[in-house]
Amino acid sequence: MSVPRSVGPLRWLAGLVVLYLAAPIVAFVVRLVTSPRRGFHQAGLYPALWTSLSGATVSLVLVTVFGVPLAFVLARSKSRVAAVIGILVQIPLALPPLMSGIVLIYLVGPYTFLGRLFHRQLTNSSAGLVIAMTFVSTPFLIVAARAAFESLDPNLLDVAETLGHGELSRFLRVAVPVAAPGIRAGMVLAWLRAFGEYGAVIVLAYNPTSLPIYTYNQFSGAGLSPTLAPTALALVVALVVVALSRFRWPRARQIPEGDVRAPKVVRSGPIRFEVDHQLGSFHLRLRCERPVRHLAVLGPSGAGKSVLLRSLAGLAGPHATQLWCGDESIGEQPVVRRRVGYVAQGFTLFPHLTVWQQLNFARGAQADVARYWLHRLGLDGLEFAPPDQLSGGQRQRVALAQVLCAEPVVLLLDEPFSALDVPVRQELRRLVRELQRETGLSTVLVTHDPEEAGFLSEDVLVVQAGTSLQFGASREVFAHPASPAVARLLGIANLLTGRVVDFGIKCGPVTIDVPVNGFVVGDDVAWSVRPERVTLTALGDTNAGATLPGTIRDIAYVGVASDFVVEVAGEFEILVRSADWSEWSVGDVCGLVVRAEDVSLWPRGDLDVARQS
């Protein structure tokens, strides 16, 4: 049995506001129904209604055509000029309407330059009516549209640009549809404000008579009764306009018939690049010195990984990047013709498009190719689904399919799996690996996950603070990090310290036999060994070779393997990852085998720097 919820203070406050707004309208309707004289047959009523309707509509067209682009520009600009314009467009909101009309007289009055230029026809005319309505209603649309544009995800415009859409196309096909609810609300407010304007209109254009002026004339001449009809008409018009503003065109639910055509598999050449980009106080300077096919860019948050991808896509400006694909230089080409597929961070899909429309959004996209990727990426049956009805994995598949339908030569992936559950993440990793082989596309993957970087790359670029820490083949980088900072970013747990002695490095009471080339006896060093490269064995096992004495302090079961925390000689701990766990328990004495070829060695100061970063 459900317990009814009590009515809280918020609902009481909301109810009071509704009562306050509804009570006058209810009282008016009662008077309208019971009154014998309503004024529906008074001369001039319907011409006045038409004057207000037509004037408000023309005003809305002008405000929309010029105001929506202005709102878009203001939303995307942070300059002082934009700030000043943003204040300027709100001034008519602060001015009393009567004073707005007086201000306009100084611009379009009969004795001004514009007034004489138009033969004094800008006042007491339909033109004057529209000028007055437009002045007072413009801020309503611009303020609402600007707020809607400011909430627009900029990645949507970036993705649209990489899919071949120019500035005007991005504005009309992405920005306006996504911001449509806010624009629509602003249009309704602007039209209603223009329709009901009295103060500015009476100063600038008393004739032709608008509905508010007609109503006031009736009220001042004969009292309330003749005002019932114009007020009722205004209420009906307002209800119709608000109802129409809530109408939504249904989404298309038909796919044109045709064949399924696999895209032409043109194996793109390996890529190399040089990036030098200043973004405020952040300076990104990276170089891929040799051609690569599948590169993973690994680094912490704020290292410049996403800025690198934006630069490669051309979104950071034409002079930030030099990019070569095979022997062809594509870094100087505009973004819309670069043919670089860009999958932005997060699930960046166009919220107003269905899956089928997403796949056909790229400039020059072919329906038969879209059908192929729809089936290849397991999206059958989702053709008419909007993004908000898709799971995270489905949305990422759609994002990949959308880019592949554009048939790019380079694929840029910005942390594409970071927000996904583990099973979905692993499934999509395998899918991308298959696509790498299937399409022959060169790929650049940005990630902070070392496992992901190793799985999807042949080469790794480790970055921090906009600079390169290490670049090389994935196997080499993971096996031999160039510094403790790289080792930390690769997720290597064992970062330890010691001192160089004659036959290796001494850590507390134990000595590890490793080559110490480049160091002299007495040097303080940092060293590391990957947990999976350490062997756990019985202490004193002569078949295992030299062992370090240890005691197991903790065992954590991590899927198919186990992590052993082993304390060595009571001085330091080493993490061991092994699939053999059944015979060991916490507190057991054991031996550790650390092979010399698995140890990385650096100056001790490098570790101190890495820990401070």
Residue-wise pLDDT tens digits, 9-20:
888 898 899 999
Provide CB contacts within 8 A for 87, sequence distance 6+: none
Q: Say what the pLDDT of residue 605 is.
A: 82
* Residues linked to residue 605 through DSSP beta bridges, in sequence order: none
In a domain, 10, yes or no: no
Nearest to 459 by CA among 481, 477, 447, 479: 477
The residue type at 312: L
* Residues linked to residue 283 through DSSP beta bridges, in sequence order: 278
Domain match, 235 and 330 both: no
In a domain, 1, yes or no: no
In a domain, 71, yes or no: yes
CATH number of the domain to which 217 belongs: 1.10.3720.10
Domain match, 413 and 357 both: yes
Domain match, 446 and 503 both: no
Q: What 3-state class would DSSP assign to 536?
A: strand
Domain match, 469 and 546 both: no
Domain match, 281 and 381 both: yes
The pairing of beta strand 294-298 with beta strand 442-447: parallel
Q: How far apart are CA 596 and CA 144, in angstroms?
A: 67
Residue 440 CB-density burial (10 A; 0-12 exposed, 13-18 middle, 19+ buried): middle
Q: How far apart are CA 138 and CA 71, in angstroms?
A: 11
Q: Which residues of the chain have pLDDT under 50?
A: none
Domain match, 289 and 240 both: no
Q: How far apart are CA 414 and CA 417, in angstroms?
A: 9
**Sign, Cα dihedral of 51, 53, 59, 65:** negative
Q: Say what the pLDDT of residue 223 is.
A: 83
Structure tokens at 178: 């996504």
Domain match, 401 and 375 both: yes
In a domain, 4, yes or no: no
In a domain, 6, yes or no: no
In a domain, 486, yes or no: no
In a domain, 363, yes or no: yes
In a domain, 40, yes or no: yes
Q: Say what the pLDDT of residue 143 is.
A: 96
How far does the chain reach from its first CA to its final CA, in angstroms? 58
Angstrom distances, CA of residue 469 to CA of 300, 457, 486? 12, 17, 7
Q: Say what the pLDDT of residue 392 is.
A: 87
Angstrom distances, CA of residue 418 to CA of 130, 222, 345, 396, 453? 53, 72, 9, 11, 12
CATH number of the domain to which 287 belongs: 3.40.50.300
The residue type at 572: F
Question: 107: part of which helix (H) or strand (E)?
Answer: helix 97-108
Domain match, 386 and 507 both: no
Enumerate long-range contacts of 381-384, CB under 8 Å, 24 or more apart. Answer: 382/355, 383/255, 383/354, 383/355, 383/356, 384/251, 384/252, 384/253, 384/354, 384/355, 384/356
Structure tokens at 283: 């300076």
Q: What's the structural domain count of the chain?
A: 3
Q: How far apart are CA 419 and CA 114, in angstroms?
A: 59
Domain match, 370 and 421 both: yes
Structure tokens at 214: 């007609």
Nearest to 464 by CA among 300, 230, 271, 234: 300
What is the residue range of 386's domain?
271-479
Domain match, 334 and 275 both: yes
Q: Say what the pLDDT of residue 172 is.
A: 95
Q: Say what the pLDDT of residue 217 is.
A: 92
What are phi and psi for residue 607, nearest 5 degrees?
Answer: -70, -40
CATH number of the domain to which 589 belongs: 2.40.50.140
**The domain boundary residue, chosen from 211, 245, 279:** 245
Domain match, 467 and 539 both: no
* Whole-number CA gyration radius for the chain: 35
Is 466:285 a contact under the CB 8 Å cutoff? yes
Domain match, 232 and 322 both: no
